[in-house]
């Protein structure tokens, strides 16, 4: 299902290699990924260029393969959040997309090296997110947009309030029930 009749319609990306073979330790796209694609599709006219980072080398290679399968040019970087890009990117990021590990898990699972690292969010599912939130305002350009995947356990209303205190205005641009999860895509911009 796509989100808006007035939005441009793009085909679902080819990704059959994800979660298989040498990419078996890569999170296979699921409902959260597709909801995020819907939100980005909705804003397609505002989005022009793509780049990406991942802490998982296999996920970065899988992203490169996905971009190749879909005739796109990406140069994934292996880094923890955007660590290797600071301070060069301060105030220069026009589009920031974050599908973090958001599932509530024991804290010791956060940052592990297996496939569980792709979903293990620790306490309230927010341990990785909470590390990233202070960096966002300094990264975004004047007209920059930040997209964040959350579930209800992450307390999206609290996240909206927290980032508002940092000078970002936000809203839940799309939400969907996916099994037991209530997924939301939060979209932020500078006030």
Three-state DSSP state, 136: helix
Residue 2: its pLDDT value, please?
36
- Both tokens assigned to 23: 């990419």
Helix (H, G, I), strand (E, B) or coil at 46: helix
Could you name the CATH architecture of 30-40+80-190? 3-Layer(aba) Sandwich (3.40)
pLDDT at 9: 63
Task: State the pLDDT at residue 168.
Answer: 98
Identify the segments of the chain with pLDDT beneath 50: 1-7
Q: Say how far apart CA 156 and CA 151 lie, in whole Å.
A: 7
Task: Report pTM.
Answer: 0.79
Instruction: Using the structure block, give the residue that is written with the tokens 């796109």.
Output: 72
What residues does each domain of the chain span?
30-40+80-190
Q: Which two tokens stand for residue 190?
A: 């500078």
Measured distance CA(130)–CA(160) in Å, rounded: 12
């Amino acid at each position: 299902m796509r989100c808006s009749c007035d939005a441009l319609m793009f085909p679902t990306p080819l990704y059959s290699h994800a979660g298989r073979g040498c990419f078996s330790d890569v999170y296979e796209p699921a409902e959260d990924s597709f909801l995020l694609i819907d939100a980005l599709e909705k804003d397609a006219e505002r989005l022009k260029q793509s780049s990406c980072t991942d802490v998982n080398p296999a996920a970065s290679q899988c992203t490169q393969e996905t971009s190749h399968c879909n005739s796109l040019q990406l140069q994934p970087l292996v880094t923890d959040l955007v660590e290797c890009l600071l301070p060069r990117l301060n105030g220069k990021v026009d589009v920031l997309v974050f599908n973090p590990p958001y599932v509530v898990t024991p804290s010791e699972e956060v940052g592990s090296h297996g496939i569980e690292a792709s979903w293990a969010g620790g306490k309230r599912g927010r341990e990785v997110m909470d590390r990233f939130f202070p960096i966002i305002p300094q990264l975004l350009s004047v007209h920059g947009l930040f997209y964040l995947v959350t579930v209800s356990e992450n307390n999206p209303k609290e996240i909206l309030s927290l980032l508002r205190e940092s000078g970002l205005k936000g809203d839940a641009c799309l939400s969907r029930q996916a099994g037991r999860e209530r997924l939301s895509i939060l979209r932020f911009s500078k006030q």
